[in-house]
Structure 1
Amino acid sequence: MSSTVQFRPRPSDERGNANQGWLKSFHTLSFANYYDPEHSEFGSLCVINEDRVAPHTGFGTHAHCEFEIFSYVVAGELEHNDSMGNKEVLKRGDVQMTSAGTGVRHSEYAHGEKEVHFLQIWAKPSQPSLPPTYYTRHFTDEEKKDAFVPIVAPASSPKVSTVREAPGPAPVHAPLSLHATLLSPGRTLDHALQTNGQRKAYVHVVQTSGYNTGKATGASVKVSAQSGESVTLREGDGLYVVATPGSVLSVGNLGDVVAEVLLFEMD
């Protein structure tokens, strides 16, 4: 069977944007006061917020249910507290997963004297009324260098640990996986999509060079497929992908700085 791939870019400056002073946030998908029917959800993925929170501020205690919520810390420190008794400070390389299930209350604050930059990501669970659970994982810059490292994977996967803290990807109760890389200039990585079901993917270039509401700048990557399609992305840009199972995506760094790239895959 021949490989077919459809690309739809999501330019950084077309994302939803909220600047509340203490919080600077981009919304890839509809969230809070931002709604766009063309960007409401994608497979089980329903929120990708790129947040920057000022020191000594944050999201006060609030409730969630029936969402899988995870945070990917880019810079600074994020202090987490929740009604399950979890309290910790997350740093660069940390991934925190809260499976809200039947209900959980939590808060997230910038810890210390620096702004915290992180991605807040939500997915819809495969089944309702799960018991609330919490997981953390840590991944070094060195292990993500020029490799797509699995940092989130379905809890049903045989190699995924459901222990609170463990090596390997954080478990998510959804048909979704997330890989991360720090891609060096001149390097290209291939990722083969799974072979079951129609595959969806989303590629996001993290906005590491600073908050920018204009046209995307900074690191530059090219995403291409075997069938010939290609798209160039810069920091904050994203790309929706719908593909034949088994299709291969290639991500190459066109620029002269390291690119931090996230690659989601889902049914």
Structure 2
Amino acid sequence: MSAIKLVPRWSQERGNADHGWLKTFHTFSFATYQERDHQQFGSLRVINEDRVAPRTGFGTHSHKEFEIFSYVVSGELEHKDSMGNIEILKRGDLQLTSAGTGISHSEKAHGDKTVHFLQIWSLPSTSRLTPKYFTRHFSDEEKKGQWARIVAPVDAEGVSAGREGSGPAPVQSPLTLYATLLGPGKTLERSLRGKKAYVHVIQTTGYNDATAEGASVKVNGKGGQESLQLREGDGAYIFVGEQGNELVVENNGDRNAEVLLFDLE
């Protein structure tokens, strides 16, 4: 393979469940949705796009080993855990829990509005780590028309191991996560360090379990012939070839697109 290869993950083909209090999409196998062709991708194991109704949520439950991070799109998310962390997360906030040897936590919609967030899990490079908790905030301005690096390996340049602070949250996985708010007519490029990546267009204009609508972006490898048209909720597996690792994302729609890009080994 000499160029970047793109494999679509259409929004309406994701696992989907409407529990009343929770409307959720699963990019990878999760809970009752099991699909052998979508188990994980590199260290990336879960991308759940969740909408939780006001004053409801996930009660206290336990995790081990996974790196678990939440990206808040709208509303407010209340987090409590067995390490004593209590926090109300808002748009622009990112929370990362390194579950390690084991933690318990709860996540609920705070206030009178639905909370829309993405919960993402990755597999750590080392097992039986001491559990840790981190929060970061990235404003819309920091993402506007550029890639904001919001999660990066703990040993990467510019990464702080502090509970709070600036820069990306530290993850114990070979994964770097970028986010952007890309305006109509704007184009962004990104050199991919790993051999694979995943791109996801956040479903910001509302819950939709049918064919994706809303914001529109075109994704392709720089100089390559292959491209994909993605809309809100759509994603794509990206395989980096021997020649060319530049990914190009172009907003060819009529509204802002909020896009996440995972750079993976």
Aligned equivalents of 2:179 and 2:37: distance in 1? 26
- The aligned residue for residue 19 of structure 1 is 18
Against the structure 1 CA distance between its residues 3 and 148, is the aligned structure 2 distance closer, same or farther, given a 3 Å change threshold? farther
1:237-252 matches, within 5 Å, as 237-244=234-241, 247-252=245-250
Q: Give the Å deviation of 1:236.
A: 0.1
Alignment of 1:180-259 (within 5 A): 180-194=179-193, 199-226=195-222, 227-244=224-241, 247-259=245-257
Matched pairs, number: 263
TM-score, length-normalised on structure 2?
Answer: 0.98
Residue 3 of structure 1 and its aligned partner are, at CA, apart by 4.4
Q: Any gaps of 5 or more consecutive residues in structure 2?
A: none
- Pairwise CA distance, 1:151: 0.3
> What is the alpha-carbon root mean square deviation over aligned residues?
1.0
C-alpha contact 1:3 1:247 (8 A) present in aligned 2: no
Residues 228-248 of structure 1: CA deviation (Å, up to 9, x unaligned): 210000000000001036600
Runs of 4+ in 1 over 6 A off after TM superposition: none
Alignment of 1:1-267 (within 5 A): 3-194=2-193, 199-226=195-222, 227-244=224-241, 247-267=245-265
Deviations 1:98-140 (A, max 9, x none): 0000000000000000000000000000010000000000000
Deviation at 1:186, TM superposition (A): 0.1
CA distance in 1: counterparts of 2:5 and 2:157, whole angstroms: 30
| In 2, Cα distance between equivalents of 1:144 and 1:236 | 19
Tell me the secondary structure at the aligned position of residue 58 of structure 2: strand
Mean CA deviation greater in 240-249 or 127-136 = 240-249
Shift of the alpha carbon at 1:85? 0.5
What's the CA shift for 1:158? 3.1
Distance 1:103 1:139 in 2: 28
Partner Cα separation in structure 1 for residue 42 and residue 75 of structure 2? 30
Contact 2:12 / 2:212 at 8 angstroms: preserved in 1?
yes
Amino acid corresponding to residue 180 of structure 1 in structure 2: A
- Structure-1 separation of matches of 2:157 and 2:138: 20
The residue identity in structure 1 corresponding to 2:197 is: A
SS in 1 for 2:37: helix
Deviation per CA, 1:137-163: give whole Å up to 9, x if none: 000001100001100000111310000
Distance in 2 (CA, whole Å) between partners of 1:55 and 1:221 is 31
Q: Secondary structure at the match of 1:39?
A: coil
| Same amino acid, percent of matched pairs | 63
**Letter of the structure 2 residue corresponding to residue 85 of structure 1:** G
TM-score (norm 1): 0.97
* Unmatched 5+ stretches in structure 1: none
One-letter identity of the residue aligned with 2:253: G
Contact 1:154-1:174 within 8 A present in 2 as well: yes
